[in-house]
Amino acid sequence: MKKDNGLYWLAMAGLVFIIDIASKFWIINHFFLFESINLLPFFSITYVRNIGAAFSIFEGQRLLLAAVAVVISGVIIYLLYRTPRAKKLENCSLSLILGGALGNLFDRLYHGFVIDFLDVNFGEWHYPTFNIADCAICIGIALFILSSCIIYPKKNDRQKRNKEK
């Protein structure tokens, strides 16, 4: 099976990175820290700074989190290069994860924290504030699981059955 050189998928990751950085740039230039604007009864734009990872775990471990992001990004770039062209969903998922990881890595290195601003709550329940990079990472992980566990194994099973006939 012919391999894709990954440039298309790297460009997609770059687009996610640009959208994420542009949204954060807009937030820091139009909001004061902790300023919030309600858009819907359950959704607000709120400028906060996260010095940890998801859900503020590893708070204050900036260099460790940056190193992990660099390693993960390197592995994803390698996987994008090695994954066959036919596995579009898997490549798309890796691109989303890479773009999101690079967006948050940029924040950690440039600002010393990650800029979060998407704020969801229902009544007393409040989900931790997040950003576009976090969305891309979560969607990418979900698509990767879908492609790895559901879609491609079925194709491989079909190919094995066809060979047996």
Residue 148 has pLDDT above 90, yes or no: no
Token couple for 31: 């909001």
- Give the model confidence (pLDDT) of 52-101 as tens digits: 877 667 777 778 889 999 999 999 999 988 888 788 899 999 999 999 99
Residue 110 is predicted with a pLDDT of 95
Strands lying side by side in the sheet with 114-122? 36-40, 43-50, 114-122, 125-126
When pLDDT is cut at 50, 70 and 90, the band that residue 153 belongs to is low
Q: Average pLDDT of 99-118?
A: 96
From CA 139, how far away is CA 134, in angstroms rounded? 9
Residue 130 has pLDDT above 90, yes or no: yes
Catalytic residues: 116, 134
Is the separation of the CB atoms in 107 and 113 below 8 Å?
yes
When pLDDT is cut at 50, 70 and 90, the band that residue 1 belongs to is very low
Residue 58 is predicted with a pLDDT of 73
The pTM score is 0.84
149 versus 43: the higher-pLDDT residue is 43
- Give the model confidence (pLDDT) of 13-50 as tens digits: 999 999 999 999 999 999 999 999 999 999 999 999 99
Residue 56 is predicted with a pLDDT of 67
Q: Average pLDDT of 122-146?
A: 95
Residue 84 is predicted with a pLDDT of 82
DSSP annotation of 47: E
